[in-house]
Structure formats: C-alpha cells, structure tokens
Amino acid sequence: MKNSAIITGITGQDGAYLAQLLLKKNYKVYGIVRRSSLDPLSRLEFLKIKNKINYINLDLTEYLKIIEIIKKVKPKYFFNLAAQSFVTYAYDNPIYTDQINNQSVINILEAIRQFSKKTKFYQASSSEMYGYNIRNQKKLNENSYFNPISPYSIAKLSAYHYVRMYRNSFNMFASNGILFNHESPLRGEQFVTKKIVKALTRIKFNKKKDSLKLGNIYSRRDWGHAKDYVEMMYKVLNYKEADDFVISSEKQFSIKEFINLVCKKLNMPIKWKGKGFNEKALNNKNKVIIEISKKFFRPLDVVYLLGDSSKAKKKLGWRPKKDISPLIDDMINFEINNLDE
Ligand code: NAP
C-alpha cells in the first residue's frame, strides 16, 4: 500500500510543487481545497498533476471536519501549508488571519495527538516571525530573537510555539520549517516579485501601457526558489527526529535591486529619478514605468531579512539548486509564455 500525505494549501504555490514532489515519490496525496468561484486548481493543472490528487473540499475553519479526515486517513505525513499568507491583508483582517494561521494549526495538532499519533506534522513557519530586527542580528537562524510586527507573523509565531509544545509535551513528530521568501512562476499575483516580473515583462512586450505601482522598494529580502524549498519540507519530515529548521538562500537583495535584475534580463534599460514617494523608474524613451504608491506600504514593514541555513545544510544535507538569477529566468519565461492571458 502507498504511503499517504495530506497537504493543506495544495492550491497555493508551495502546495502545488510539494504535491508534484510527493507524487514522484509515489505517495498517495490528499489535498485540502476550499470552495472558490474561480478554478482553484490552475497551478496543479499547470504542473499536469490535477487528476492525480485526492481532493478534500473543506475550509480550515471547519475544525470538526479536519478531525474527521485525520481520523479516517491517518496519513504518514501532514504538511500544513494553508494560510492567510498575504501580510498586508492581515492588517485589515487580524481575527481571520489568526483563525487560519494559528487556531487551525492547534486543531490539526490536537487531532493528530488524539487520533493519529504516528503522523509526522510539518508547519509552514515564516521568516516574518523575526519582524523588527531590533538586536541588529546580521543573519537569522533558529536561535535568533523573534519580534513579529504584523497579525500574520504574530499568528505564525504562536503556531510555531504550539508545534514545539506538542513535540515537547506529547512526544509528537512535529517540525517547523522557518522559510525565508521563496518565489517561482507560480507565486500568487499579489506578491511583489510576481507583480514586478509580470508587469515589466508585459511593459517590455507592449501588453501593459500604464506604470507599475509599488510600495517600499528598499525592503531587503532573502529570496529562494519554491521548488528547492519544498524538497527541504520533505527532508524535514524524513529527518531522524522532529526539529525546527531555517531555510534561506543566505543572500539578500532589495526590491529595487530585484527590479534592476529583471530589467537587465529583459534587456530593458531603466533609470531611477526622485526620492521617497516621488521616486520613479523611466525607460529609455523617458516614459515612467514604475511609481511609488502609499497604498502598497505596510503599516509597519519588515525591512531586513537574511537567513542562515547552516543547520539545515548540516543536518538535512539540503542545498538550494537555484539562486536569484535562474529564479528570475523561470519567472520571466513563464510570463512570456502567458502574455495573452
Ligand atoms: P499561497 O500560494 O498563498 O497558498 C496559500 C494556500 O492556503 C492556498 O492553497 C489557499 O487556498 C490556502 N488557504 C488559505 N486559507 C484557507 C482556508 N481558510 N482553508 C483552506 N485553505 C486555505 O502561499 P505559499 O506561498 O504557497 O506559502 C505556503 C505556506 O508557507 C503558507 O503558510 C505561507 O504563509 C508560508 N510561507 C510562505 C513563504 C513564501 O515566501 N512563499 C515564506 C514563508 C512562509 P486558495 O487557493 O483557496 O486561496
């Protein structure tokens, strides 16, 4: 009989790539999907695995249903990737964000404890939990100080502690992957890297006439490729014991540097002018193609994220295959192939 794995958030970026990986490894994959008026399975269709998954229609707020599913399937692995994952949205919806990103995690852990104690649990924790780097830590690792500043990261940090509590108090195999930003062609449309690559590719090919509006382009992030990061999720649950691991590229770029790299690859020279809210990027015909808009600033921004994955490298033997350059290539190629959509 095949081993089984449940993935929440299977319709998202990481869920789709993780499902692909587990199918390749011959797992029976169960994917939790919530109702939507649009087709939520587009990423799985793109990866050509749409018909290979056992779908369970359910929202994470359906606590009793989740318990029922865990009781019935008793999976070998439970990957909890579902989340209200957009930090800016969380400021307007803190209660909902806490319900999905924290309380539903407790519900899953409790169900595993009561009905399927052998299930190994992976929690998608986030580098956003480090928040304001008030201790000026250069590289952030598993022992660094957490100082979350958004409803998203506060909920994620609470869930992170619950995972540790269930591991330590009930001897459960429950692990956190503390992931730094990871992108791919399948990244959600609201996220800044996707916004930049999509808009600039469309501007380059005359499919977009207006300018791209962005928030703080001086935030610094540590970006990896989602395909590399889901391999690590699998390794975390296959490690000899449950533990917490930072996963990062260990390289840092500002959003402005990311834009410059994308323009270079698109062979689209730009120049920057002005400061603050008046800063703009112009193309070689002096047309404004990027503008700064207050609308896209977070109430409080995490301005510095740089991870240290030494522990994952040492203990899991994990190595990312793609750095920022092939990541941007993948994202641009996807946009070029989808210019008419
Ligand atoms: P994503 O593309 O936004 O996917 C989020 C997934 O959660 C989607 O499948 C979404 O379903 C599902 N979901 C949201 N609310 C739900 C609910 N109430 N019930 C059931 N499912 C629900 O996120 P991602 O980039 O793949 O990230 C995966 C996980 O890693 C998330 O927990 C995220 O917070 C965390 N994380 C991501 C990053 C990153 O850089 N990508 C970094 C650190 C941590 P719909 O398709 O219906 O919306």
Tens digits of residue pLDDT in 156-207: 999 999 999 999 999 999 999 999 999 999 999 999 999 999 999 999 999 9
Q: Which atom belonging to ligand 1 lies closest to the Cα atom of 85?
A: 34
Question: What percent of the chain shows pLDDT beyond 90?
Answer: 91
Residue matched to tokens 């092939």: 326
Look at ligand 1, atom 7, and give the residue with the nearest C-alpha. 82
Tens digits of residue pLDDT in 261-314: 999 999 999 999 999 999 999 999 999 999 999 988 888 878 788 999 999 999
Look at ligand 1, atom 10, and give the residue with the nearest C-alpha. 9
Domains of the chain: 4-184+224-250+306-322 (3.40.50.720), 192-219+254-302+332-337 (3.90.25.10)
> Residue 292 is encoded by which pair of tokens?
């700064």
Tens digits of residue pLDDT in 199-233: 999 999 999 999 999 999 999 999 999 999 999 99
pLDDT at 98 over 90: yes
Tell me if 36 CB under 6 Å of ligand 1. Answer: yes
Number of other CB atoms surrounding residue 138 within 10 Å: 10
Asked if 119 contacts 77 with a C-beta cutoff of 8 angstroms, the reply is yes
Q: Output the pLDDT for position 300.
A: 80
Look at ligand 1, atom 27, and give the residue with the nearest C-alpha. 14
Look at ligand 1, atom 42, and give the residue with the nearest C-alpha. 181
d(CA 47, CA 257): 30
**pTM score:** 0.96
> Residue 107 is encoded by which pair of tokens?
């519900």
Rounded to the nearest angstrom, the distance between the alpha carbon of 82 and the centre of ligand 1 is: 4
Which residues in the chain belong to E strands, given as ranges? 4-8, 28-33, 54-57, 77-80, 120-126, 174-179, 182-183, 212-214, 220-221, 224-225, 244-247, 253-254, 270-273, 280-283, 288-292
Tell me if 181 CB under 6 Å of ligand 1. Answer: yes
